[in-house]
Amino acid sequence: MRAIEFTETSCPRTKAKECSCSKVNAITEAQQTTVAQCILEHSDTVKGSILLIQAPGTATLVKGTITGLTPGEHGFHIHEFGDMSDGCKSMGGHYNPDGVDHGNINEGHVGDLGNIIADESGTAKFTIEAKRVDLLGDRSVIGRGFVVHSDRDDLGKGGDAESLKTGNAGDRLACGVITLRSEEVTEAHGGEHSTSGRSMTKSEKGKREKIVKGMKKDKAGFKKRYGKDAEAVMYATATKQAMK
């Protein structure tokens, strides 16, 4: 499978500088595992990288590491736009296609991912199973953006109007656009799936984690072959194997 050339720019859906809509549609139709990434920008101190992985019919896995934070909880959301023309300010509000009040990862805006927790060194490492976040289909978040905030998200329980809008999560510390990863990630695990759009079972999820754990024994080999895409390849491959 080789890349199709896509030349769209300035996306009308997400306001991102480069539009991936046609490519997302092609991947959706082909029922492929999709891998996306986000590199946080617009901060001198807060840095981070986030990986998103979704196989057809499964929840999106969000894995990341963010440094330079103050210790404690920080609101973490997907915002409506991938527009960084005015830094994090131009990324709009939380991604909320259903027009509901702010809440938690299970109820509220689709972009509500709750809080991440930074340790004493200011580092937050997290893995989130985001069941309402899609990389595939009409509600794909590719082209939209992540924002990490200065304060704790009260999950809509703060008792005021701002709580129902933003969770009183405070200033936008850093942000970045969610973009598709290289096609080689898809090729590495064999491309198309034959899962008929079904969800992963609890047993299959456990099997996937065991497969990934085994792969990590050769982490150096994966990194040498795939570089920054090594972890994405591991999870994409393990998902396919677990769902056979």
Residues carrying an active site annotation = 77, 79, 94, 102, 109, 112, 149, 172
Cβ(167)–Cβ(156) under 8 Å? yes
CA dihedral over 150, 154, 160, 164, signed as positive or negative:
positive
- Cα dist from 201 to 50, 58, 130, 133, 170, whole Å: 25, 9, 15, 18, 37
Which of 81, 193, 231, 55 lies closest to 136 in space, CA to CA? 55
Cβ(183)–Cβ(27) under 8 Å? no
| Secondary structure (3-state) at 26 | helix
What is the SS3 string spanning 188-225? HCCCECCCCCCCCCHHHHHHHHHHHHHHHHHHHHHHHH
Other C-beta atoms closer than 10 Å to the C-beta of 127 total 9
* Integer Cα distance of 236 and 27 in angstroms: 14
Report the b/e string of 23-38 with b at 16+ CB within 10 A.
bbeebbeebbbbbbbb
CA dihedral over 79, 81, 84, 89, signed as positive or negative:
negative
Tell me the Cα Rg of the chain: 18
